[in-house]
Amino acid sequence: MRQSKWFLFLLVAVMGLALLVSGCGGTNEQAGGAGDDKVVKIGLMTPLQGDVKTYGESVQKGFELALEEANYKAGDYTIEKVVADDRNDATEATNVATKLIDQDQVDAIVGSVTSKCTIPASSMAQAKGVVMISPTGTAAKVTMDPERKDYVFRACFIDPFQGTVAAKFAVDELQAKTAAIMFDQGNDYTVGLSQAFKEEFEKAGGQIVAEEAYAKEDVDFSAVLTNISKQKPDILYLPDYYQKVSLIGKQARDKGITAVFLGGDGWDSSDLDFATMDGGYFTAHYSSDDPRPEVANWVTKYKEKYNTEPDSFATLAYDATKLLLKAIEDANSNDPAKIKDAMQAIKDFPVVSGNITFDADGNPVKSAAILQVQKDGSYKFVTNVQP
């Protein structure tokens, strides 16, 4: 009898252990089994608060539409996303990149949006061996600082090209002889554009009659604009974001400055002061008036989902995500080293903003568009400029 009791006790213990092992096996398969080996985790860094939140909102829409179209798949791999808000603050961008890489353990990042956030984040991605593609970070330091960051790419053209295109347009098409420049001295984006514009404008025979720096926090430009109004420039070049150029533009017109406003892709926002900036021109990454089928299809899909026309930020986020998915598919791997090699090898891949081939520095080789601001809140396509 005593022997039977011991046998029953051991039988229950063994069965319990078997159930425990079986249960642990099921949990492992769900959380870290064979299915999860076929996962690529992508982080999105974008400003959803702060001074350029409309950029961030557009970028998130383009990113998510590209993933939805792909049914969250690339090759044999399922895509998981993590969205993080860097508030267009360089310090916060570093914190966000740290979280995505160390805590969320992403394999790749789409972002960030502005150069000042993308530069420190891209240095971290490079150091940690995580693939990164910025939709709109146009500063040269995003992919080169000073050596090539070979894990980092972008879907937009770079500042020197954008500033050069604006200067050529001012001289060749607007017949401008003189120009004044205002730029944020603490922002690599505006500094880069202003330098490229000045160099090309002077090379073409133009004269820079005023070159004025300001700080991000500045809101009163009366003294600077009083000086510029005395110079009577043909062009006032404003390579900053939509909020700042709207503010400067309004104060410039109040000072009686009649110069043509000219700027960069930072103007592209539904929150631009269209009445003040009416007639001004800026360099952009694409135009919805482009007759290519990729553009028409994109505009239709975006309007069906979001009931509005896509801006450049949504478009470049969509393109950047498509390029990353293409690289993952070609690599058919979640190894960031293999994904970045596949990204660098992409040739003539058709996206909305053009057929993309990356140069040795991780920059796409493609044209720029010139758009003109209309007071009704729209943009008029003027021309495309080839690199």
Q: Give the tens place of pLDDT for each residue, 33-90.
A: 334 589 999 999 999 999 899 999 999 999 999 999 999 999 999 999 999 999 999 9
**What mean pLDDT is predicted for residues 246-250?**
97
pLDDT of residue 160: 86
Query: Residue 23: which pLDDT band, with cuts at 50, 70 and 90?
Result: very low
Q: What confidence category does residue 387 fall into, taking pLDDT thresholds of 50, 70 and 90?
A: low
Domain count for the chain: 2
Please indicate, yes or no, whether residues 303 and 273 belong to a single structural domain of this protein.
Answer: no
Do 327 and 279 lie in one domain? The reply is no
The per-residue pLDDT for 326 is 98
- 193 and 299: one domain? no
- Summarize the confidence of residues 361-375 as an average pLDDT: 92
Decide which of 221, 256, 284 is a domain's last residue.
284
Same domain, 150 and 165: no
User: Distance (Å, rounded) from C-alpha 216 to C-alpha 228?
Assistant: 20
Same domain, 146 and 179: no
Phi-psi region of 86 (alpha: psi -120 to 50; beta: other; left: phi over 0): alpha
Instruction: Give the confidence band of 126 by pLDDT, cuts at 50, 70, 90.
Output: very high
Confidence at residue 230, expressed as pLDDT on a 0 to 100 scale:
96
Share of the chain above pLDDT 70, in %: 90
Return the C-alpha torsion angle 183, 186, 188, 194, nearest 10. Answer: 20
What the block records as the tokens of 34 is: 């064979």
pLDDT band at 1 (very low <50, low <70, confident <90, very high): very low
Q: Per-residue pLDDT averaged across 198-213, rounded?
A: 97
- pLDDT recorded at residue 354: 87
Verify cis geometry, omega within 30 degrees of 0, for the bond prior to 146: yes
Assess whether 355 and 294 both reside in one domain: yes
288: confidence class by pLDDT, cuts 50, 70, 90: confident
Residue 22 has pLDDT above 90, yes or no: no
260, 330: one domain: no
What range defines the domain where residue 179 resides? 160-284
Is residue 188 within 8 Å of 386, Cβ to Cβ? no
Give the C-alpha separation, 369 to 347, whole Å: 22
Pick from 257, 284, 311: which residue ends a domain?
A: 284
pLDDT at 291: 79
Lowest mean pLDDT among 114-118, 266-270, 381-385: 381-385
**Residue 145 has what pLDDT?**
87
Residue 325 and residue 7: Cα distance in Å, rounded? Answer: 59
Count CB neighbours of 378 within 10 A: 12
Q: What tokens appear for 213 in the block? A: 């720096």
Residue 140 sits in the same domain as residue 166: no
Give the mean model confidence (pLDDT) for residues 223-237: 97
What pLDDT, on the 0 to 100 scale, is given for residue 36? Answer: 56
**CA 280/CA 263 separation, integer angstroms:** 8
CA–CA dist 319, 29 (Å, integer): 34
Domain annotation covers residue 198: yes
Instruction: Clarify whether residues 98 and 44 are in a common domain.
Output: yes
Residue 312, pLDDT > 80, answer: yes
Claim to verify: residue 219 and residue 114 sit in the same structural domain = no
Single-letter amino acid code for the residue at 357: T
Specify if 204 maps to a domain: yes
Q: DSSP assignment, residue 297?
A: H
> Do residues 55 and 313 lie in contact, with contact meaning Cβ atoms separated by under 8 Å?
yes
Q: Which amino acid is at 134?
A: S
21 falls within a domain: no
What are 211's strand-pairing partners? Answer: 181
Q: Are residues 224 and 304 in the same domain?
A: no
Does residue 106 share a domain with residue 63? yes
When pLDDT is cut at 50, 70 and 90, the band that residue 228 belongs to is very high
